[in-house]
């Protein structure tokens, strides 16, 4: 039975069920003359559904009173197909299979009191659902939430889940932007994960890809070639945000941003590779998506973060200041300086970094290192001035999915860098005024690699393998014939399986867990809690040593002294930054060399007479104390 009734819709496109009234279908297919819904049973047998009526702007819409949640359907276009719904809410058989009608209102939420996160004071934790647990499901990941809350992280950043073909993948080749992948569970499993996280005080944000579609399973060109334009990104055709017929395309993406916030109660988004989003419109699509996401949140707070390799500060400025209204940007500069300091390798895109004390001070006080200077690796200027952005608008990390995978065989810093120096820079990461991010397993020094994996077959699989070899070939250490021959196939299921975290390591590595838990506890103290609200200043103390002073609102200053080299005697003329507050003295509050963390123990870097000797490969946190 069909009906022309058009109920109020949540989204401009897709299949939307209204209890007691059936399901309403709407799709954008300009240039098509006839659009029909085709239903499919569990055995793959088709049955005809309603023919959709044309609407202005290239849309087609109609309803079926008999269509219920769980029903499978596709669209037939002028006799071609049938093809899955471009706005499918679930693809139980993957991108090449039928879409499924989903009723998002059927889930009973328990988070009515949840008000969402604000940017200041947050600690991010990036995870990939498929490798975070051995099972690789939402339900299994939900069982780990208590330990993450106890650790002290506050926002979980989930790698992309928009459905993609194959048995495994990173998620950055998604083709069904509204359908969480069937690989981790059903849509309500995702909702239950978010609900459970909120119950433990954890926010959840989702990494979304708005710069390209994946190369396999993308049926959008069948509905309209206007989704893409001729210009290319490094991953394929750019999205058409500013050309002919771009209005519905923009609506598709801005609706997607709002969809995750409203239907999954997510607390924000992380926007992937925004430098590859091409849009010359008066209002950039990112600004429009940010506005749509915040409107969908209602009274809840959400946070919007972005990856932007070109370091355009305007993304994190308010619309009133000419910006896009995002909250924070990933800062590769901090990571690159830290990686050089920890490994000594200055190759490829690390070649413009020294790992020097001044770089760490500049990152802590200014955010980006490159704010318009010449960047030799790219042969051009990089970045824009960002002095007006608050510290929390920069996201710092020692590891993330990309950077771990870009080391040979996906080796983590726990296998590449000396432990004492890692502990010292972990202190800088977690006590610095910027927003810190941890990558799954980093908190207990996981030895499990994280490699690039993508389950593509045939010519596409060969192209992906070749492309990965070319990309890693920019590193001289991975360009040799021996290294190239040793690179593993991203499509090998064993590679994916090897990247799954090992629960036994978490149980064994008490020292690393204690380090991260204690540092996150210190971060909740003033003046760290306000992210340097009273001011932060730094000084170079030696070739491998520096100090950061955090000014407290009531004179309760903290001094973080980091020395990545050998022990250093600063006498007889110490840096004025080291002067104790209020004429008092400094006392040792915390050290990265505590035996509980696997360290050898370390005394305070300053004695009772005010003489400074910095212990080697150590971070020391001092606080002011009155003299007796």
CA distance 435 to 119: 8
* Full DSSP string of 95-127: TTS-EE---GGGS----TT-----STT--EEEE
| 8-state DSSP, 454 | B
CA distance 31 to 50: 19
Give the C-alpha distances (Å, rounded to integers) separating 20 from 24, 53, 63, 477, 614. 12, 22, 12, 64, 73
Q: Is 599 helix (H, G, I), strand (E, B) or coil?
A: coil
Q: Provide the annotated active-site residues.
A: 272, 307
Q: Who's near 387: CB < 8 A, 6+ residues apart?
A: 366, 371
| Neighbour tally for 494: CB within 10 Å | 10
CA distance 257 to 491: 30
Name the strand (E) or helix (H) holding 81. strand 80-83
Closest by CA to 351, choosing from 479, 476, 469, is 476
Is the distance from CB of 171 to CB of 159 less than 8 angstroms?
A: yes
CA distance 175 to 162: 7
CA distance 607 to 426: 25
Both tokens assigned to 252: 């598709």
Alpha helices by DSSP H, listed for 400-457, are 401-405, 413-416, 419-431
CA distance 500 to 448: 7
């Amino acid at each position: 039975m069909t009906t022309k009734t058009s109920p109020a819709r949540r989204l401009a496109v897709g299949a939307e069920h209204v209890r007691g009234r059936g399901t309403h279908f709407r799709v954008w297919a300009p240039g098509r003359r006839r659009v029909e819904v085709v239903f499919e049973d569990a055995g793959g047998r088709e049955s005809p559904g309603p023919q959709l009526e044309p609407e202005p702007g290239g849309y087609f819409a109609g309803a079926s009173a008999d269509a219920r949640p769980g029903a499978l359907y596709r669209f037939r276009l002028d006799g071609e197909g049938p093809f899955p719904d471009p706005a499918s809410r679930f693809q139980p058989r993957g991108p090449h299979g039928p879409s499924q009608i989903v009723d998002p209102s059927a889930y009973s939420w328990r988070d009515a009191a949840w008000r969402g996160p604000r940017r200041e004071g947050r600690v991010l934790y990036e995870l990939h659902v498929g490798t975070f647990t051995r099972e690789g499901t939402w339900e299994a990941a939900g069982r780990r939430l208590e330990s993450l809350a106890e650790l002290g992280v506050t926002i979980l950043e989930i790698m992309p889940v928009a459905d993609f073909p194959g048995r495994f993948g990173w998620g950055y080749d998604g083709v069904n932007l509204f359908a969480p992948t069937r690989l981790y569970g059903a849509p309500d499993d995702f909702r239950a994960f978010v609900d459970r996280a909120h119950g433990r005080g954890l926010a959840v944000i989702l990494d979304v890809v708005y710069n390209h579609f994946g190369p396999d399973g993308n049926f959008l060109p069948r509905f309209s070639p206007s989704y893409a334009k001729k210009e290319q990104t490094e991953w394929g055709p750019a999205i058409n945000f500013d050309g002919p017929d771009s209005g519905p395309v923009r609506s598709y993406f801005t609706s997607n941003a709002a969809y995750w916030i409203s239907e999954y109660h997510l607390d924000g988004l992380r926007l992937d590779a925004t430098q590859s989003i091409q849009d010359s419109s008066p209002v950039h699509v990112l600004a429009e998506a940010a506005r749509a996401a915040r409107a969908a949140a209602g009274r809840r707070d959400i946070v919007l973060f972005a990856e932007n390799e070109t370091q355009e500060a305007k993304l994190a400025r308010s619309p009133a200041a000419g910006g896009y209204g995002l909250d924070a940007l990933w800062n590769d500069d901090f990571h690159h300086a830290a990686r050089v300091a920890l490994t000594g390798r200055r190759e490829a895109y690390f070649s413009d970094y020294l790992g020097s004390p001044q770089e760490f001070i500049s990152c802590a006080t200014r955010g980006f290192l490159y704010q318009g200077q010449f960047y030799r690796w790219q042969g051009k200027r990089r970045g824009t001035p960002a002095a007006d952005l608050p510290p929390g608008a920069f996201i710092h990390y020692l590891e993330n999915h990309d950077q771990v995978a870009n080391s040979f065989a996906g080796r983590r810093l726990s296998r590449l860098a000396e432990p004492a120096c890692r502990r010292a820079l972990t202190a800088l990461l977690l006590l610095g005024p910027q927003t810190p991010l941890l990558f799954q397993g980093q908190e207990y020094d996981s030895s499990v690699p994280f490699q690039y994996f993508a389950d593509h077959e045939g010519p596409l699989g060969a192209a992906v393998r070749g492309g990965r070899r070319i990309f890693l070939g920019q590193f001289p250490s991975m360009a040799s014939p021996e290294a190239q021959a040793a690179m593993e196939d991203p499509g090998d299921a064993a590679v994916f399986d090897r990247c799954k975290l090992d629960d036994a390591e978490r149980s064994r590595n008490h020292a690393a867990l204690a380090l991260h838990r204690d540092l996150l506890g210190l971060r909740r103290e003033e003046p760290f809690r306000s992210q340097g609200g009273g001011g932060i200043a730094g000084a170079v103390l030696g070739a491998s040593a520096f100090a950061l002073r955090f000014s407290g609102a009531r004179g309760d200053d903290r001094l973080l002294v980091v020395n990545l080299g050998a022990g250093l005697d600063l006498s007889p003329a110490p840096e004025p930054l080291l002067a104790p507050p209020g004429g008092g003295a400094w006392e040792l509050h915390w050290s990265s060399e505590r035996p509980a963390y696997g360290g050898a123990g370390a005394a305070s870097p300053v004695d009772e007479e005010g003489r400074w000797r910095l212990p080697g490969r150590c971070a020391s946190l001092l606080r002011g104390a009155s003299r007796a």
